[in-house]
Structure 1
Amino acid sequence: MVALDINEQRLSSGTWLSKLKGATGPLVGLLALCIFLSFSTDAFLSVRNGLNILDQITVLGIMAVGMTFVILIGGIDLSVGSVLALAMMVMGWTANIAGLPLPVGIAFGLIASAVSGLIVGLLVTQFRVPAFIATLAMMSAARGVANMITDGQQIVGFPDWFMMLAIDRHFGVLTATVFLMLAVVLAAWLFLHFRSEGRMLYAVGGNPEVARLAGINVQLVTIGVYVISAVLAGLAGIVLAARLDSVQPSSGFGYELDTIAAVVIGGTSLSGGAGGIGGTLIGVLIIGVLRNGLNLLNVSPFLQQVIIGIVIVLAVGAETIRRRRA
């Protein structure tokens, strides 16, 4: 317990400075990108476009929070896109086919995603399946179940109030879905900064064996993190359903790559133990601003994928060089 106390003191005292340093590079990159796009297109630097960017990153932002927790403990989650689709289909089937109230459908969708995360966590901790393989298997299984629910068919038509969550701008500025994303980000930031459980994630990611010897239940932390990641993926699916006013089992393809990219671009180390929510939010904004700017510049979607891939490589390379110098 002494080692845990020392570790907590070190993390709490160095948290602010370390997080600030880790997010400085991505923040400079985001500002440089905004400046470049401001001069490249007149439509970028406007309130309307800024609000559109916020609307477009809600799904990615919510998912990235859960992925940050996973990567902080040295794990990876390739199943978030499929879990997103599973939650959407469970919600849609429960509300539109089974005829239950939509809030009940939302609850069932989140429960389905939580069960998916629990299965992954148990595979990793109890059966010693590598996280890459466990989440890859769940990616396939969840996508299959999502297709089985309606035999691959989409479900359309939800109550107006549900769709308005992603349309109606409160105070003329932000939609309810954006407020939800910001609330999730804030809650995660507070959790990592002011809760001992949050500091445990850094300890587990830094060295699981040392964390275990310090009294941390590494297995329980790991299971909890994968459940949280899955639930947030499911919540992102609910948000996406509100934006589309429909659900389909093909939703979420490629989202896991964008989510991991946002976290890595934000400065969270893939080896675990370093990073934070502030950097992740910046990474999400970089991807959102980059996609928005490239669309405004009429860049081909295929070329956009190449450019984003290059950005990811540069971000990881810069982080590697920074850590070697440190």
Structure 2
Amino acid sequence: MKFVAGLKKYGIFAVLLLLIIIFSVASKAFLVPSNLFNVARQISMLGIAAVGMAFVLLLGGIDLSIGSVITLVNIVAAWLMVKANVDPVLAALIALAMSASIGFINGWIIANIKMPPLIVTLCAMTILEGVAYIICGGLPIFGFPKAFTVLGQGYIGLIPIPVIIMIVIFVIGSFILNKTFFGRYFYAVGSNEEAANLSGINVKRVKYLVYTLSGLFAGIAGIVLLSRTNSGQALAGKGFEFDVLTAVVLGGVSVNGGSGKISNVVAGVLIIGVLSNGLVLLNVSQYVQMVTKGLVLLLAVGFDCIQKYQKSNA
């Protein structure tokens, strides 16, 4: 029993360590400091958006619009800076306000119209992707002030700025879940929405907050990505929601809601980053990578469902 409990608690970190060992042996380029920094920089956007997705899953919901929010933020912020000559800071703030508003709208529809989160965010994903294409005409937008690139390409000491932003977001996410009553509400609503409502928790407001935060964190990821690539792309966030969902579920956040923690999400994000980077170094084709990530998500969700079944029959 102790072994099983330990496996559930530390298994995700054991998997991460195993992957590092395997890729270190398979490729001499993996443990090179420059590559490790590259992995950290690559996962920063994933980690930022993963915190918002973790909150949503804790409620028993899902947010498939994350990738499209990142794309739209990319295009809108780029358009404001290049076409409308808006100051980069103001352009970023406008784009973030927009992303948070999109999240709030998703939450409002889910809470008040009772539409399934899967359908609401799937529709939002399609709509936002279309809006992004309309704004840019499918063409990249570039020509930003050089100072803007510091956010995605700069360093503080030896640490890339995107990694610092990701760490700050992880700390904020952990603080919300562990040190605030909002965090307790997230777990309560995800465990039993009806019981949470009867206990006096305003379930609708909790959903507003969670989806707004998901939109905001996706927006921050979009701004960091725009700064890093120095170009607003119509496909910037295409498929991004799948990697985020995989990382969060792999990190032990239950798709059924009510359980999970940020520390394990960090491990899930690292696993996706290490796996992607290692497969690229080994010259594994993109299609095999897609199959691998799909299997990882399937196994993670399957393990979560088995745990839930065992608890319900205990």
2:28 equivalent to 1:25: no
The counterpart of 2:130, out of the listed 116, 126, 144, is 144
Cα distance in 1 for partners of 2:44, 2:70 equals 13
The amino acid of 1:132's aligned partner reads L
Question: Any residues of structure 2 matched to 1:233-272 within 5 Å, and which?
Answer: 233-272=218-257
Cα distance in 1 for partners of 2:223, 2:30 equals 28
Cα distance in 2 for partners of 1:71, 1:243 equals 28
The amino acid of 2:192's aligned partner reads N
Cα distance in 1 for partners of 2:252, 2:66 equals 20
2:243 equivalent to 1:282: no
Question: Any residues of structure 2 matched to 1:1-326 within 5 Å, and which?
Answer: 23-171=9-157, 173-326=158-311
Q: How far off its partner does 1:22 sit?
A: 5.1
Q: How far off its partner does 1:49 sit?
A: 1.6
Gap regions ≥5 residues in structure 2? none
Q: How far off its partner does 1:54 sit?
A: 0.3
Q: How far off its partner does 1:318 sit?
A: 2.8
* TM-score when normalising by structure 2: 0.94
Q: How far off its partner does 1:23 sit?
A: 4.6
Query: Does the aligned pair in 2 maintain the 1:83–1:233 contact within 8 Å?
Result: yes
RMSD, aligned CA: 1.6
Gap regions ≥5 residues in structure 1? 1-18
1:289-319 per-residue CA deviation (whole Å, 9 max, x = no partner) reads: 0001111111111111111212222222333
The amino acid of 1:227's aligned partner reads T
The amino acid of 1:49's aligned partner reads N
- How many percent of aligned residue pairs carry the same amino acid? 42
Cα distance in 2 for partners of 1:309, 1:283 equals 14
Cα distance in 1 for partners of 2:307, 2:125 equals 33
Q: How far off its partner does 1:323 sit?
A: 4.1
Cα distance in 1 for partners of 2:257, 2:308 equals 13
Change (3 A) 1:240 1:111: same
The amino acid of 1:229's aligned partner reads S
Structure 1 segments, 4+ long, off by >6 Å, are none
Query: Does the aligned pair in 2 maintain the 1:86–1:112 contact within 8 Å?
Result: no
